[in-house]
Amino acid sequence: AQSVTQLGSHVSVSEGALVLLRCNYSSSVPPYLFWYVQYPNQGLQLLLKYTSAATLVKGINGFEAEFKKSETSFHLTKPSAHMSDAAEYFCAVSPSGGYQKVTFGTGTKLQVIP
Amino acid sequence: DADVTQTPRNRITKTGKRIMLECSQTKGHDRMYWYRQDPGLGLRLIYYSFDVKDINKGEISDGYSVSRQAQAKFSLSLESAIPNQTALYFCATSPGQGLSDTQYFGPGTRLTVL
C-alpha cells in the first residue's frame, strides 16, 4: 500500500519569500516520487520526479525537492516566490519495481501575495 | 496544438442521462488514464489502459465505463449520471518507457450533474 500526505491545503507566501510545500509518503517498497503543478483551468504538469538517483532533484521554474528516506519526506522548495507560482501543487508516489498506479496527494494551493 | 485534448470542456447534464467524455492524444503514447478530481480529495484513478486491448479498473470505477477506440483515443462513459459524479475529469497519457512514467494531462472536463 502507498499513500501521500500533503500538510496544508493552502499556503500563502509573500513575493520573494521562500516556498516550502510539505509531502510525506508511505510505501512498502522504495518509491518513485513526483511533484505536479496545476495552474488555473489547466491540467497537471510535471515539476520534478525522484527515481532513486540523486536525492536532491531539480525541476522546472526553479523548484527543487529533497528525498529524505529517514523522514519519509519529499518537500518542495523554491528560494524566491514569483506571482506566477500561484497554483495547486500535488505530490504523488509510485512504488518502484513493476508498474503500480500513481497515488496523488490531496493538493496544496499556493497563494503568492504581492 | 495541445498534445492531449478533451471534449467537451464543460458539460451540464441531468441525473440519469448517459454522458461520454472523449480524450485524444497526439503524443503516440500507449498508456492512457482517466482521473476525477474533487476538492480536498486530489486525483483518483477511474480506469487505465496500457494498449488498445488492455483496459483496467482503477480505484473508483463503479458507475463508469471506458472504450479504447484506437491508440490515440480513450473515452469515458457515465451510463446513468448521478449528482455525486459532479467533478473535474482528467485524461492523461504516459509513454510506458519505464517504471517512473511521467504522465501528461489534458485540460480537463468540468462535469455537473443536476
Task: For residue A71, give Cα distances in angstroms to A20, A22, A53, A56, B2.
Answer: 16, 12, 18, 14, 39
Q: What is the pLDDT of residue A62?
A: 96
Q: What is the DSSP letter of B83?
A: G
Coil, strand or helix at A94: strand
- Which of B41, B42, B105 has the CB atom closest to A45's CB atom? B105
Side-chain-side CA neighbours of B45 within 13 Å: the count stands at: 20
Q: Which residues of chain B have pLDDT under 70?
A: 1-2, 97-100
Give the span between the Cα atoms of A37 and A50, in whole angstroms: 15
Q: Check B40 against A97: CB less than 8 A apart.
A: no
Mean pLDDT of residues grouped by 10 in chain A (114 residues)? 91 97 90 92 92 89 95 96 96 75 92 96
Q: Check A44 against B105: CB less than 8 A apart.
A: yes
Q: Check B99 against A96: CB less than 8 A apart.
A: yes
SS3 content of chain B, % helix, strand, coil (to 5): 5, 55, 40
Count of residues for chain B?
114
Q: What is the DSSP letter of B103?
A: P
Give the span between the Cα atoms of A58 and B1, in whole angstroms: 28
- Which of A9, A97, A104 has the CB atom closest to B43's CB atom? A104
- Measured between beta carbons, the chain A residues lying within 8 angstroms of B43 are 44, 90, 104
Which cell goes with B31? 498508456
Q: What is the pLDDT of residue B5?
A: 96
| d(CA B32, nearest CA chain A) in Å | 12
Give the span between the Cα atoms of A113 and B86, in whole angstroms: 31
Q: What is the pLDDT of residue A98?
A: 56
For chain A, the C-alpha Rg in angstroms (whole number) is: 14
Q: Please, what is the Cα angle at B87 between B84 and B88, to 5 degrees?
A: 165
